[in-house]
A and B are shown apart, each in its own frame.
Chain A
Amino acid sequence: MDKDKVAIVGCAQTKYEEDKIDLTVSELVFEVVHQLHEDLGITNDDVGCVITSSNDFNDGRTIANMAIQDAVGSVRKSESRVSGDGAFAYVYGAMRILSESYDTVLVVSHCKCSEVNQYLVNNSIFDPFYQRHLGLDQVSSAGLMANMYMQKYGISEEQAAKIAVKNRKYARDNPYAHLQKEISIEDVLNSKMMAYPLKELDLPPFSDGAVAMLLTNEAKAKEFTDTPVWLKGYGSCTDAYYLGHRNMTDLVGLELAAKEAYKMANIQNPLKEIDIFEVYDAFSFHELMIYESLGLCKKGEGGKFIDDHFESNLPINKSGGVLSSNPTMANGLIRVAEVATQLMGKAGKRQVNNAKIGLAHGMNGICSQGNCVLIFGGE
């Protein structure tokens, strides 16, 4: 891949919240597309093509992208839909720039998952023959993973709770975040048990929202902004499907995806060289596992890492992460948008000083099965 050839020139996000019942999916998407047009001073004619990300089960509609054609302005244009996490839609959009087929690509992701029975949606990810009837969903399988991880490496529930506390604290500085109330370690430990060792506050809420961004090439970037954000590294890797076929105590797929992305971006020491991380923290323990897979600490030392850095201003999920806002399918593209906003220096109260290199992580499937790691750089 050629580095520094694809630019993010603008991002727009809705406020994430439960029960956005006043807006249809199409209106929700139009909100971010319109905002992006306003911010960049562009019209629909400036958009070459559109890549969207959505999920039919969450939308309750087959061909869910059919509903948002007017909202994304794809009339007489090409639109295609990645059925999965928004980070993968970003990658497809970047490919359309790199193939030199389009000068600009609008990438949009949306989800109204608070309207949906998430047990049914997530139970349907499991195969219909062997696993589905066990009643597994994203919470119970995350519980299995967290328990195995905890047992193998001696991680404590308090250490995991610190992740929820950190991310919720950060969320207060993010005007888009869904849950903005600060919580304590005791609150997490005393919250309702969902799937041992996961309590209610170890898990994300269900949020509605949408995110959009405009991508362009080297020649055009400066026409839109003085602060384009460039793609420097990319890696993607998918783990085994059956939970029993996986090493549940380490995120193998994420580790390999990160290695590939680091190699491409020429990063030797991620903790030192990367200024801002936005990772897909599907549950509190998961973020500890992500630290290990991204090479921020050694295997099994995720708990120690948060103990050491809990009081410092760790630049990981300054947005509040998925634990604070969770419009599931959009999570990966929100990570990309948050990193881009930081690198543009436009992150307001959550801004990390002098952020030059950032990492965004997207995820598909159950327990980090499909992973995407993206490294970005500012001007």
Chain B
Amino acid sequence: MTKHQTAIVGIGQTKFRSKRRDVNIPEMIYEAVRMALDDAQLEPKDIDAILIGNMDHFEGINFSEMWTGIDAAPGYLKPVVKVATGGTTGSSLAICGYHNVASGIYDKVLVIGWEKLNEGGATTGIITAFDPVWERPSLAGALGPLALMAGMYSAKYGITPEQAAKVTVKNRSNAANNPFAHLQMPDITIDYVMSSQVISYPLRLHDCCPQSEGACALIYANETEVKKITDNPAWFHAVETAHYYTFGTDDKMYDLPTATIASKKAYKKAGIKDPINDLDVAEIYEPTSWSELSWTEALGFCKPGEGGKLLDEGITQMSGELPVNPSGGVLSTNPIGATAMVRVAEAATQIMDRGEKRQVPDVERALAMGFGGSLWTELMILGKEPMR
């Protein structure tokens, strides 16, 4: 299965806000790094390698890891590597960290995702991700394709704007229980979401994720090292990535085939037959309210077209059989290079039973999802016990 069992033993997250004017880039990242080191009771010298990432163009810094890996993290005279894959940057880093340890090359690694969007321009950056000839004049950026997906999904399965709005209400009220979350709205209503400004039909302002500034840091260790650090780690049971077409519009757009492909493989590795019963919590990467409904279908939580019904039945609520995004999800917090890593951090927090007000009872297994690029999915399944 895997060469060396690998677990998360330390977690750090900054407070996420739309503008962190109190700190510069290295200072902001250091907040998360210090917290993760303290959490694992490790010193900088204990770390073998640093994996760090963000999106180059968002802050306009080339080779950002050569700066941040040294000045914000203990990378001096150590290996420092950057992994960056767009929205999936955080999950790609988390998966890279897994391979760094599971391969036996390193014993303990520090994995960091960050973004300080207010010092750059996310949309300006994202638009350049798309083909200059075929896509850039028509369907570039984040909102356009996501609106198209929401519209196609709604038309195909009769999902209503009310059902989508309910996702925002669920996630932003969950966020009120998460001290790190950016948008905490305990009293948010469906009417409030549905009366917000249309951004790109059918997406309204509150159907969309915010832009946040912040960082997330995780410390990984192998089986031998875990024993010295903690008796409450979160073990990796499966990591899986699926890509698809280069051009998003080659896809059907009303579903997410990469999530279906990746989840089937990951469930098989982790021995999961019925995700609703076998998983205890899921932290999924929902850039819009509509996408959470669609992604829950693609992940096999329900049949295609039944994402709305799954939510209406309360299954994904905090009190439901499979709570989805107790942290408030991406709709509440979105520091792009860290967003997908926050999913992993929150899944690990749930496994460790340290979620306080957002804790789901008796979590044995948790799913974390990253989404990005041209509709890519990355999945990690974490468990309380090592995978045998």
Contacts and interface: CB of A to CB of B under 8 A. Distances in A.
Nearest to B265: A78
Contacts of B63: 55, 84, 125, 364-366
Contacts of B130: 66
Interface in A84-123: 84, 88, 91-92, 94-101, 121-122
Given A26-B246, A75-B245, A240-B70, A63 B103 contact: no
B83 A62 contact: no
Contacts of B58: 62
Contact of A241 (B2, B67, B103): B67
B152 interface: no
B85 interface: yes
Contact of A238 (B62, B77, B104): B77
Contact of B2 (A71, A99, A238, A365): A99
Please provide the 9 A-B residue pairs with the shortest distance between their CB atoms, ordered closest to farther.
A78-B241, A98-B103, A236-B79, A99-B102, A63-B86, A365-B66, A124-B62, A95-B103, A83-B84
A56 B86 CA distance: 11
A83 B374 CA distance: 17
Given A69-B374, A70-B245, A74-B243, A80 B92 contact: yes
A63 B79 contact: no
Contacts of A67: 131, 246
Given A83-B82, A236-B79, A238-B69, A76 B244 contact: yes
A127 interface: yes
A171 interface: no
A78 B98 CA distance: 14
Contacts of A84: 63, 65, 81-82
A62 B55 contact: yes
A66 B245 CA distance: 9
Contacts of B53: 83
Contacts of A70: 245-246
Contact of A95 (B85, B105, B131, B243): B105
A67 B246 CA distance: 6
A113 B282 CA distance: 42
Given A81-B84, A366-B66, A98 B105 contact: yes
Interface of B: 1-4, 24, 49, 53, 55-58, 60-63, 65-67, 69-71, 75-86, 92, 95-96, 98-100, 102-105, 125-131, 239-246, 261, 372-374
Contacts of A364: 63, 65-66, 80
A128 interface: yes
24 contacts: A55-B56, A56-B55, A56-B62, A62-B58, A62-B125, A62-B126, A63-B55, A75-B244, A77-B243, A80-B92, A80-B95, A81-B83, A82-B83, A92-B96, A98-B103, A99-B3, A99-B99, A100-B3, A101-B2, A236-B78, A237-B78, A238-B75, A238-B76, A364-B80
A99 B103 contact: yes
Contacts of B242: 76-78
A185 to B, nearest CB: 33
B128 A62 contact: yes
Interface size classification for chain A: 35 or more
Contacts of A238: 66, 69-70, 75-80
A202 interface: no
A250 interface: no
A62 B102 CA distance: 30
Interface of A is mostly: mixed
Contacts of A66: 86, 129-130, 246, 373-374
A371 B243 CA distance: 30
Contacts of B102: 95, 98-101
A29 B70 CA distance: 32
Contacts of A65: 85, 373
A82 B99 contact: no
Contacts, number: 189
A67 to B, nearest CB: 7
A79 interface: yes
A21 interface: no
A126 B244 CA distance: 35
Contact of A127 (B67, B86, B128, B244): B67
A61 interface: yes
Contact of B96 (A49, A76, A80): A80
B7 to A, nearest CB: 14
Given A98-B104, A238-B69, 9 more contacts: A62-B86, A79-B241, A95-B96, A95-B102, A98-B103, A127-B61, A236-B81, A239-B76, A369-B66
Contacts of B127: 62
A170 interface: no
A128 B79 contact: no
Given A57-B62, A122-B62, A239 B77 contact: yes
Nearest to A63: B86
B239 to A, nearest CB: 7
B75 to A, nearest CB: 5
B61 A124 contact: yes
A62 B60 CA distance: 11
Contacts of A121: 62
Contacts of B55: 56, 62-63
Contacts of A372: 79
Nearest to B99: A95
A60 interface: yes
A93 to B, nearest CB: 9
Contacts of A71: 246
B81 A241 contact: no
A253 interface: yes
B85 A101 contact: no
A241 B240 CA distance: 34
A346 B103 CA distance: 30
A234 interface: yes
Contacts of B99: 92, 95-96, 99, 101
Contact of A100 (B2, B49, B372): B2
A256 interface: yes
Contact of A76 (B61, B82, B243, B246): B243
Given A238-B66, A241-B70, A69 B245 contact: yes
A1 interface: yes
A237 B80 CA distance: 7
